[in-house]
Amino acid sequence: MRSWLTTTDHKRIALLYLGTMTLFFTLGGLLATVIRVELATAASDLVTAETYNRLFTLHGVIMVFFFLIPSIPTFLGNYLLPLMLGAPDLAFPRLNLASWYVFVAGGLLTLTAMVAGGLDTGWTFYTPYSTTFSDSHVVLAVLGVFLAGLSSVFTGINFIVTIHRLRAPGLTWLRLPLFVWSHYATSLILVLATPVLAMTLLLVAIERGLSIGIFDPEAGGSPLLFQHFFWFYSHPAVYIMILPGMGVVSELIPCFSRNRPFGYEFVAASSLAIAVFGFLVWGHHMFVAGQSYFASVVFSFLSFSVAVPSGVKVFSWLGTMHRGSVWLTTPMIYALGFVALFTIGGGTGLALAMLAVDVHLHDTYFVVAHFHTIMVGGMLMAYLGGLHFWWPKISGRLYSERWGRIAAYTLFIGFLLTFLPQFVLGTQGLPRRTASYPPEYQFLQALSSAGATILAVGYVLPGIYLLASLVRGRPAGDNPWGATGLEWRTSSPPPPHNFNKAPVVTEDPYDYPRAPQPTFIGAGDV
């Protein structure tokens, strides 16, 4: 136990993150369950409107700041980056451990706020409600999120330095796995955007204590200023969540298509382009908030341009499968689910980027469905796909392929059933964040709640069979999928310094035509 809490081994720290984030995900999921049960009927009969406000706020805060943002970087990124680079550890191992402690401290503060009575501002902490009117535990919660942000900054710095300075001999930039490229872009956003949120949240806390008037027009400030600050971080944060997921999918699809990624250089560059454009579109969250028309037009235009690099990635995935031989294993099902849902989520995002359409759809269930399709459908599918892909490497064991596929399909169906009705609800004009609603929306809401039940089953299943594999699973071998990449050249699980002999890279990445044969024989097929 003590050796785990004082470890500087990136692999162990990654597992500490996995454990912590699974707890937060479960908590956020339970909150969502209560929300969906409440929404199954039109009246607000299970919880009061005040409690409902607290439920969706905590669901958002916990899921966004304590699961979605850290999930892939701090778990898979932490575990895999040094392995993929052929390095013995991250550049600053003690900073890495410190980032976990800061993360846990932030989580505990937020949980304290929750136990003490919760907060009701929505995860966006909009002023003036958060600074002046809300009587819930805003200060505790924002300090918790502040610490989570600090932890992200530490992780980002560590990744940037590691990718720049600890690559194995021969591992040039254009030989880096696409997972590494996407984590590099993510780290840039983590380091350069998170401080803006950190300071903004501190200013909210200061406003609550001193009422200086930073966000108060009566005293010369502006609530719009808060929204500028908040979205300057929180829009790039969307790419913090989705870019690592794209990185995972860019590993899975070449491996299970047994093919080189189509347009490797373009996919790598598109990660950086998404990071850059992601910084320039924050104003599209403020179209109806009183922002100037001039700024709205500029932000609307820039929001369309961010779709270009995302489109490059989708076409690359399709192109990779097009000439490959697709092998439909559990991770690949998740990867395909990601591509489908990301395309739906991205397309509906363009609808929202249109100024006139946004005026109609703003703050409706359409927005809820849009970002859940990107975040849950996209990001979480990629997370689970990555977890299933690298689980044999991390644990050294194979899980039940049959149950893996059942869970993946369950999740996909459950997801569509939950969120497709919400798109329709939104276009019909149902506003979000209300505990009760007019009865004519009852059917679609009930359908969504039913879908959420299936979704919940899809989340519980992997927890069961992955844990069971630790006890009953067959040994995985070093490279069950016949994948390229340095992480597959060491043992499963890897030794403390990752490699018994420091690797040297002499070939291009993703040389699948010449990759080793898979040793994995799944549920009756090859």
Partner 1 sequence: MNHRDGSSPAPSVGAALVVLSALLILTATTVGLAFLELPPAVHVGLALTIAAIKAALVAAVFMHLLREAPATRLVALMAAVLLAIFMLMVTVDVRHLGG
Partner 2 sequence: MSERAPRPARIAPAMSEAVREPFADPAHQRDAVALGMWAFLGQEVLFFGVLFVFYTHLRVRHPELFAAFAPRLDWRLATAMTVALLLSSFTMALAVRFAFVRMRGKLLSSLLATTALGAAFLAMKGWEYAHHVARGESPIVDLADELGPGPGLSTFFGLYFVLTGFHALHVLGGLVALGWLVIVAWRTTAEDLRGSPVMAVGLYWHFVDIVWLFLFPALYLAGRPA
Interaction site with partner 1 (CB under 8 A)? 160, 164, 188, 192, 196, 222, 224-225, 228, 232, 279-280, 283, 290-295, 298
Site string for partner 2, 6-35 (x = CB under 8 A): -xxx-xx-----------------------
Report in angstroms how near the CB of residue 173 gets to partner 1 at its nearest. 11
Closest CA to 94 of 13, 195, 167: 13
Beta carbon nearer to partner 2, 111 or 163: 163
Q: Longest C-alpha distance within the chain, in Å?
A: 70
Report in angstroms how near the CB of residue 17 gets to partner 2 at its nearest. 16
Report in angstroms how near the CB of residue 291 gets to partner 1 at its nearest. 6
Neighbours of 63 (CB within 10 A): 24
d(CA 79, CA 322): 31
Q: Which entry of partner 2, partner 1, none binds 280, CB below 5 to 8 A by partner kind?
A: partner 1
Amino acid (one-letter) located at 67: F
Place of tokens 């149902």: 430
195 binds partner 2 (CB under 8 A): yes
d(CA 34, CA 387): 27
Report in angstroms how near the CB of residue 60 gets to partner 2 at its nearest. 22
**Burial letters for 167-191: b for 16+ Cβ neighbours within 10 Å, e otherwise?**
bbeebeeebbbbbbbbbbbbbbbbb
d(CA 393, CA 520): 13
The DSSP code for 121 is: S
Beta carbon nearer to partner 2, 286 or 447: 286
Angle at 238 between CA 22 and CA 484, to 5 degrees: 70
Beta carbon nearer to partner 1, 23 or 225: 225
333 binds partner 2 (CB under 8 A): no
Place of tokens 């993150």: 17
Identify the bridge partners of residue 431 per DSSP, sorted by sequence position.
364
131 binds partner 2 (CB under 8 A): no
Q: Which of 21, 84, 90, 344 binds partner 2 (CB under 8 A)?
A: 90
SS3 sequence of 208-262: HHHCCCCCCHHHCCCHHHHHHHHHHHHHHHHHHHHHHHHHHHHHHHHHHHCCCCC
- Which residues within the stretch 144-173 sit at the binding site for partner 2 (CB under 8 A)? 153, 156-158, 160-161, 164-166
502 binds partner 2 (CB under 8 A): yes
Beta carbon nearer to partner 2, 250 or 492: 492
d(CA 77, CA 70): 10
Query: How many binding residues for partner 2 (CB under 8 A)?
Result: 54
Beta carbon nearer to partner 2, 138 or 368: 138
Binding segment (CB under 8 A) for partner 2, from list 30-38, 209-217, 345-353, 382-390: 209-217
Q: Which of 137, 183, 228, 285 binds partner 2 (CB under 8 A)?
A: 228
| Residues that bind partner 2 in the complex, under the rule CB under 8 A | 3, 7-9, 11-12, 82, 87-95, 153, 156-158, 160-161, 164-166, 191-196, 198-200, 203, 206, 210-214, 218-222, 225, 228-229, 493, 495-497, 502
